[in-house]
Amino acid sequence: MAISMFISSLNLTMLHKTMILEWSIISMNSTEIMLPLIMDPMGMMFSATVLFISANVIHFSNYYMQDETFIKRFTHLVLLFVLSMNLLIFIPHMMILLLGWDGLGITSFILVIYYQNPKSLAAGMITALTNRIGDVMLLLSIGWTLNQGHWLITNMWSTTLSAMMCISITIAAMTKSAQMPFSSWLPAAMAAPTPVSALVHSSTLVTAGVFLIIRFYPMLSDFYMFNTALLMISTMTMFMAGMSAILETDLKKIIALSTLSQLGVMMASISLALPNLAFFHLVTHAMFKALLFVCAGSLIHLHHHSQDLRSMGNTANQLPLTMGCLLAANMALCGLPFMAGFYSKDMIIEMCLFNQANTVIVFMFLLATMMTAAYSIRLMMTALISNNMSLPIQYISDNTLSNTTPMLMLTMGAIMGGSSVNWLSTLPYKEPILSLDMKLLALIVTVMGAAMMSFKVNSMTPSFNNSMINHMNAFMWFLVPLSSQAILKAPMSICLKSMKTLDQGWLEMSSAQGIFASSSTYSSKLQKIQIPILTVHLSMIIMFITFIYM
């Protein structure tokens, strides 16, 4: 199915066509309920990518979750997620787009809390509540579109409420794509099973926000300060994710933070008025990031489900295929020449240098690229070369078909995905005319970042010891406590005070508890008064009876 979608996308690209089908569900007199379907090259390509990755992930889950009792339920949830994603892609009607959008949020919440422990529930709650903000914003934008008389996203025009609608759609996309200040839910969602992370948190759910902005870009780009604001937010997100990933020790969280960094690259590309290039990076990123998660899942599975990078090591000889695939994915992530990430990421950096961008933004962009190479090298050197700190007795093998087949398929995508999409379906871009040193700048900063981190990993000097800076980066610039404990403190104290004052205070005393307490008090007082009178009456009765019988 993924192959047929890819061929259809190529066909539509070659013909420069977009097909819109309108299926009439109910027709009564002049009222007609219709379901529109849009088939454009971009949507078909994205759907092909989602289907290809989901097929490999379901295949991989047979290996990773082989001891799971309810594997069928897990598969059904993943398929529901894929259905929601395709609803979002193919239906240009805002009402049904909300159905797909909400479906993504609900199924991702269920998949994050799949292991049913306190950590998973906490991660699921922060994921669901952050995504609910986006759902509310999308609902508001639907309400503000009412005066246009339709909800088709292909025919939007400017109205008095367009500015409000643009802001709400942008915030909705930022919550789903985990841009600042909504970034903390993405690393927390790594409590989900690794196959879920490979599908949901690499290529589909997190890129849904980017895809939404690309869909609405013709309307959003007319809005004042949209491009500038989005560029600043995305660059800050990219920079923050890179700094946090360098200090992180959880294997899956490092990959999640690299996803966050690449989402920042996509958003920055859109803000530079290059939505097609952002979509190209979205597709190539999906390939190598799903591969990274699958390789990480194999490592976690074989290390007794430990995600701590410090306990892994010396796997080059034990897992040659897994490590080869992981190396290919990391090379694509760093944007090394002729890998998948090179064709899109290098072009975005070149366009950033070519356009009239702010010097600080360009500097942060290049620094984030350097940090990407740094944490990728740290991950590879720790997993490949360093001493193994895990349990001495463990079974290590990568010859299971359910494990190796998805890895090899996704490795083909990570190696050839960029070049094939670039040559076959992406419209030829005009190369930015830059000097040789500017052309090589992206490669130079990548090599510099990798060299500096490899030197640091091999050196015996102690790490930089500033607890405040380390804490700040470990907590993603304090976004984790700010988006959880900081928000909860004031409402919790207000709720406690209101409960003590209202529920356990005068409201309680003026109803059942108060009536019971007052009646108990009055009855006890009456008893004290009545006891001597009762004694007198009884004694008089006894005296009277004795007097009669005498």
Q: Per the omega criterion (within 30 degrees of 0), is the bond before 181 cis?
A: yes
The predicted structure's pLDDT at residue 481: 63
- The residue to which tokens 């787009």 are assigned: 97
The ranges assigned to domains in the chain are: 45-222, 224-392+399-459, 512-549
For residue 514, give the amino acid letter.
G
User: Which secondary structure element, helix H or strand E, spans residue 234, and what is its range?
Assistant: helix 226-247
The fraction of the chain above a pLDDT of 90, given in percent, is 0
CA distance 458 to 451: 11
Summarize the confidence of residues 112-133 as an average pLDDT: 84
**CA diameter of the chain:** 136
The predicted structure's pLDDT at residue 111: 85
Q: State the SS3 of 272-321.
A: CCCHHHHHHHHHHHHHHHHHHHHHHHHHHHHCCCCCEHHHCCCCCCCCHH
pLDDT tens per residue across span 349-365: 888 888 777 788 888 88
CA distance 414 to 419: 10
For residue 170, give the amino acid letter.
T
Smallest CA-to-CA distance from 49 within 287, 327, 392, 326 is with: 287
Q: Is the pLDDT of residue 239 over 80?
A: yes
pLDDT tens per residue across span 128-183: 888 888 888 888 888 888 777 777 777 777 777 778 888 888 888 888 888 888 88
Measure the CA angle with vertex 96, ends 92 and 102; round to 5°.
120
Q: Is the pTM higher than 0.75?
A: yes
The predicted structure's pLDDT at residue 532: 66
Pure H helices in 65-114: 71-90, 94-112
pLDDT tens per residue across span 497-543: 887 777 777 677 777 777 878 888 888 877 676 666 667 777 778 88
Task: Give the contacts of 487 (CB within 8 A, at least 6 positions apart).
Answer: none
Q: What is the DSSP letter of 93?
A: B
Two structure tokens written together for 202: 């690499």
CA distance 487 to 504: 25
Smallest CA-to-CA distance from 367 within 261, 474, 270 is with: 261
CA distance 267 to 352: 12
Two structure tokens written together for 223: 């809005």
Summarize the confidence of residues 488-493 as an average pLDDT: 75
Confidence of residue 494 (pLDDT cuts 50, 70, 90): confident
Confidence of residue 461 (pLDDT cuts 50, 70, 90): low
Summarize the confidence of residues 38-61 as an average pLDDT: 84
CA distance 77 to 79: 5
Q: What is the DSSP letter of 31?
A: E
What is the average pLDDT value for the chain, to the nearest integer? 80
The predicted structure's pLDDT at residue 73: 84
Smallest CA-to-CA distance from 109 within 120, 97, 98 is with: 120
The predicted structure's pLDDT at residue 121: 85
Q: What is the DSSP letter of 24?
A: E
Residue 144 vs residue 461, higher pLDDT = 144
Residue 263 vs residue 28, higher pLDDT = 263
Two structure tokens written together for 286: 């999906």
The CB density around residue 447, as the number of other CB atoms within 10 Å, is 15
pLDDT tens per residue across span 383-427: 777 776 666 666 666 677 777 888 888 888 888 877 777 777 665
The predicted structure's pLDDT at residue 124: 83
Q: Is the pLDDT of residue 64 over 70?
A: yes
CA distance 280 to 114: 32
The predicted structure's pLDDT at residue 550: 65
Pure H helices in 23-70: 41-64
CA distance 382 to 303: 14
Q: What is the DSSP letter of 386?
A: S
CA distance 256 to 243: 13
Helix, strand and coil in the chain, % to nearest 5 = 75, 5, 20
Residue 477 vs residue 128, higher pLDDT = 128
The predicted structure's pLDDT at residue 25: 79
Q: What is the DSSP letter of 332?
A: H
Summarize the confidence of residues 104-127 as an average pLDDT: 84
The predicted structure's pLDDT at residue 350: 82
Q: Is the pLDDT of residue 428 over 60?
A: no
Residue 306, phi then psi, degrees to nearest 5:
-95, 130
The predicted structure's pLDDT at residue 218: 82
CA distance 189 to 109: 9
CA 258 remoteness from chain centre: 12
